[in-house]
Structure 1
Amino acid sequence: MATGRYDDEVAALATPLGDPGDLDVLLDRVGDARVVMLGEASHGTHEFYTWRAAVTRRLVEEKGFSFVAVEGDWPDCDRVDRSVRCRTDAPADPRDALTTFERWPTWMWANEEVADFARWLRAHNARVAEADRAGFHGLDVYSLWESLREILTWLREHDPEQVPTALAAYRCFQPYGEDAQRYALATRFVPTSCEDEVVDLLVRLRVRAAADGADRFGAWQNAEVVAGAERYYRAMVRGGRESWNVRDRHMDDTLDRLLAHYGPQARAVVWAHNTHVGDARATDMVDAGEVNIGQLARERHGPDQVVLVGFGTHHGTVLAGDAWGAPVEVMRVPPARRHSLEEALHAAAPEQALFVFPSTPQADLLSHELDHRAIGVVYHPDRESWGNYVPTVLGDRYDAFCWIDESRALRPLRVRRSSPSEPETFPSGV
């Protein structure tokens, strides 16, 4: 199918993007929606991060959004949250909190682009009442041991009666040396696991969190992470795609807990990869039985309360590794392959453009299935002829789309050397 047939539709739908004032049409589309999810076609593209930050600034300032929730670990992001909300027990510069990230790929959040946004968020929060300060939270499921340590530290200071329960969970995992894959493999071949200890811990913290304040909520959330991670790693070693659904359902549940915690008027911005944000039912993920947070949010809150925004690029550079745990490098992003969404937009869209879709898509560009590029933290540009593309019905997968014809790589912060021992995520680190 020739992509030139979409030229007139692309030109008619595109709003050129030059500065944050050009985002008015998107903010109009957001309206009173409770959740706005902002995607990315890679985890290593400068423009995806800076335009997400520009959208988020306007949502926080003009529409009172309550927090940003990202595809990151809860304990790491909690240090950033304390800093941006001007807590006295946190660094005065959020950049210092970002440099403590340890799990590979650290550069996914420990980069200059996120540091710039976090500094802005702290400055914004310093001007408003403490109760109105916007947060920064992690949605992901990987931080099993980090979350266990956070729970123990918190309980020893605030609720020592519960320490034995937490220690029982910690000691159950301890023989595996903080190696998630080793634990998961053991549960596959030996009919035992740490699930009972984790559930006991979770129940106790959940009951107490219902009656107590924000600090108790953090301990509860870390317990939810431990429970989710235990399920995730067991599913992962069994093979197949179940682990993907465990992870995205955990992120969806975390988002729901955060909305409830912030109150009935709370509104959330989510930053995650397109493969999580764009409704899975408009891709070939549905054929594999996979769900994602974009689909789950629409189902939970209603499509009128959720705005999904995808991102894409035709060519440029990106930050990624050539294997799981490998050193990060700037890689070339080759021109998009023929008959892809990216080729169609490259042919007719402005160099930077915003597309906001009508509620009932009529244009062929929005209703035809086109291949749409997805780059993970592990990337091989020479393999794009057979990989890195997701068949997509654009107008069903997203409510809007941000286009960058030529993109540049992120600028990573210097952090402590991370360990590659964490098992690779499925598929390919997205």
Structure 2
Amino acid sequence: MTGNLFYNPFIHYHCIKFSVMMKLYYILFVTISVLLVSCSDNEEPKKEIKQEQSAKIEIKKDSVSFNIDFYPEKSIIVDSNLVLLGKDETGNYRMFAVNIKSGKANDEFLKTFYDREIAKLTVKNDTVIGFFESERTWGYWNNKWNKYQLTNDWVFNGKYGVLNYLLEDNTYIVYSLDYGEFGGEVYFYNKKTDRLYGMKLYGPVLCVKDKDGYIVNGSLPHNTGFVEILKIKKPETLIEIPDSFNIIKYSELKSSFVFIEKQENEFLPDSLEEKIRNPQKFDVNAYQMSKQIIKNKLRVETILDTTDMLCYATIPVKGKYLHIFQKRKKVNAGIVEGAGMNVIDSLYDESLFSYDFSSRLYKNVYLISFSYWQQKIRKEKMICLVWRDEKLTRYNFN
């Protein structure tokens, strides 16, 4: 899977065979959108309040710019280097590397890392892997490229555009299915037990792991934005998915949307379900109550559930979760306190949003990437934000 974690949902409409049920979901979701946004304009608890004294997190900031002569499609952290991969105007694959400790270009590193046949770069369980296009083989990086047979390569080959690879550790492969405003799901595949678990979540774009479990971020760029950040301590408490929906075992994409929907509906009393399924009787309070009932049944904790923003990163820092988020064309850093997000630093007075977006934690380094060259909406081809040692460095590639 390469990029496109944030994407315009309309580009996938021609790929989805919509049933009558899915059309009803769309009508219902639009109704929810209007009501929630309307409610958010009248409620005070959702406001961001600048309370730096409560956060005890000081963010150091820096900015570096580079001119590159190709179009970056992917960025990744490798051995303390920020590496960009893309194509030049002739269609050849190119790379550029920056040492994130010195902030300088690292041509010496590329002498061994760069291979003109590498078409894809990603990380599997903290190991950097690359796809060699002409040989149609994979390799892993350990001071040199070593060829090997990659299992479950559907995660990385881009065959299924609506699937997003989020994280892998010793126990789980975490991935998501994203149909934009028509629905989404996050999955945890237990490699040791061969079981698959999941739940509904709109716009699941990133997952980070800390000592308490897994933090999953759903951020949907629809209307003014929807954000739902969840903590999942034990993935086995989620809904167990039948083998027939397990792409890891069968390499065939079958949406489990209807199955999960049915299982979650069984948690709800009939009186409540009527108020959220019937557009004529829809009640926004009933909808919020139903979401909480489902999360309680699945033992999922809500960190934040709000509208009118997009969240680009959730970073564990000093026992808290630092969120990099955008609201009203401004990018801020904040922590959740009470019912809303408290701003601790105003980072950029501009929108960084791109549908070609990625966000990932590499051990102690967090990388957020925005690719613009396809959209041509600004002078930069790519902007990368690197969080390291409580310092946020912005890399502009022109």
Q: What's the TM-score once normalised by structure 1's chain length?
A: 0.28
Indicate the structure with greater strand content.
2
Indicate the structure with greater helix content.
1
Q: What's the TM-score once normalised by structure 2's chain length?
A: 0.29
